[in-house]
Amino acid sequence: MIDRTDFLDRFGGVFEHSPFIAERALDAGAVPQPLTAAGVHAALTDAFRKSSAQEQLGVLRAHPDLAGKLAIAGGLTEDSRKEQAGAGLDRLSPDEHARFTAFNTGYTEKFGFPFIIAVKGLDKSDILAAFETRIGNTADEEFETAKAQVERIALLRLNALLPGD
């Protein structure tokens, strides 16, 4: 059985800068033993889904822009840095960077949170295509899509930390 401090240290950042998700999952007794990626993911996802819309929006807003200012300044979390680098977002040409910046700006202005996508297995052209498609979503559609992407990112992060079932 993992103790509270260890659990929060290990899994508090799985939902970007939102340790309250891990705290609530643990406090609800929803984390099954032994710890597996699927079990912890189910508990964290349940806590995320039960949080208020305002709290969910806060989780979305905690995510960095793709290839944005934080990436350039080296201010990403280690997980975000690795994820973006894996998709080649740390090696954009000036034209590609300008395109990402324009998409990030337009998307955030329209929806009020950054574009979020689980980048594992994608490259920059896949991500740009998703930007182009999703910018046409309604606010409600995109809120749901972004939350699903956050949950997918959490699962990918947990798969790197824990064994599967």
pTM of the model: 0.89
Owning domain of residue 111: 64-146
Active site residue 17: no
> Quick check: is 74 in a domain?
yes
Number of domains making up the chain = 1
- Of the residues 17, 41, 63, 97, only one is catalytic, namely 63
Instruction: Give residue 23's pLDDT.
Output: 97
- What is the domain-level CATH number for residue 91? 1.10.3330.10
Closest to 104 measured CA to CA, from 116, 94, 92, 95: 116
- Give the list of residues 6+ apart from residue 95 with CB closer than 8 angstroms, or none: none
> Quick check: is 107 in a domain?
yes
Question: How do the pLDDT tens digits run along the chain, 165 residues long?
Answer: 689 999 999 999 999 889 999 999 999 999 999 999 999 999 999 999 999 999 999 999 998 777 665 455 455 577 777 777 777 877 888 898 888 889 999 999 999 999 999 988 998 889 999 999 999 999 999 999 999 999 999 999 999 999 766
> Quick check: is 41 in a domain?
no
